[in-house]
Amino acid sequence: MAKTTAKAKTKRGRAKTKGRVAEVERTTRETRIRARVDLDGAGRASIRTGIGFLDHMLDQLSRHSLIDIDLEAKGDLHIDQHHTTEDSGYVVGEAIARALGDRAGIGRWGEAMVPMDETLTRVALDASNRPYLIWKVKLSKPRLGEMDSELFKEWFQAFAQSAGVTLHVENLYGENNHHIIESCFKGLARALRQAVAIDPRRAGAVPSTKGVLGGSL
């Protein structure tokens, strides 16, 4: 059983927010991960997961979304990288969800088409508080650097679930596996940047005819 923690304890754990900043800790028997995000940052990142390629991808996520991310993970890497990868997605997503609060005033939707040399990837996102992932990405190799290729979908699934976003990721074409995955993270970053940005024309209203995000359309 996982618990999230920060400053004031609740039954499920602890979380601290101020403005559009949130800090979350998640502790299980497999991992202990802390993340702090600032949605109105400058793309500054300090990432320490123990997995070099994942650090690189999360740095890209921060840099291109302009969300400051400070993340430290300690996991059972002596077994494999699955738990650390998946749980880091949960924690970053939850921190973003907490920083968004009731999501009033945000743009809500974002999309990006990201080319990297021979690769082109499309990402579309709805910060709807209704988690869903469509993942149309195929990799030709079982490993990318030190990571199992199947772990990337696990990270995006965990992120979409805890961030409360409907997320569609589709690699249209590409050959280089590094380019394919990096374009996915950069596409997420650019779409997220649009979706969480404050729209001054909304005057602080929740971007839904229901007046609240989540549940049915």
Rounded CA gap, 23 and 80, in Å? 26
- Cβ pair 76, 31 in contact under 8 A: yes
Structure tokens at 174: 């590409």
**210 band by pLDDT with thresholds 50, 70 and 90:** low
- The bridge status of strand 45-48 relative to strand 68-75 is parallel
Q: Domain containing 102 — which CATH number?
A: 3.30.230.40
Q: What average pLDDT does the segment 77-102 reach?
A: 96
Per-residue pLDDT at 10 exceeds 80: no
Is residue 210, in this structure, part of any structural domain at all?
Answer: no
Residue 213 lies in a domain: no
Q: Is residue 6 scored above 70 in pLDDT?
A: no
208 is a domain residue? no
Number of domains observed in the structure of the chain: 1
Tokens for 193, please give them: 């940047």
Tokens linked to 65: 């979304």
Please provide residue 62's backbone torsions phi and psi, each rounded to the nearest 5 degrees: -65, -50
Q: Is the pLDDT of residue 9 over 80?
A: no
Phi (first) and psi of residue 199, to 5 degrees = -100, 110
Residue carrying structure tokens 């999501």: 103
Residue 139 lies in a domain: yes
Contact between 71 and 48 (Cβ < 8 Å): yes
Where in the sequence is the domain holding 17, given as residue range(s)?
A: 3-202
Terminal CA-CA length for the chain:
31
In a domain, 159, yes or no: yes
Give the percent of the chain with pLDDT over 90: 79
Among 54, 52, 17, 216, residue whose Cα is nearest residue 151: 54
Q: What pLDDT does residue 208 have? A: 55
pLDDT in tens, 125-158: 999 999 999 999 999 999 988 899 999 999 999 9
Read off the pLDDT band of 18 (50, 70, 90): low
| Position 72 confidence tier, pLDDT thresholds 50, 70, 90 | very high
Positive or negative, the Cα torsion across 87, 116, 114, 149? negative
Strands 3-5, 9-10: pairing is unpaired
Residue 51 belongs to a domain: yes
Residue percentage of the chain with pLDDT more than 70? 85
Mean pLDDT, the chain, integer? 89
48 in a domain, yes or no? yes
- Does residue 214 fall inside a structural domain? no
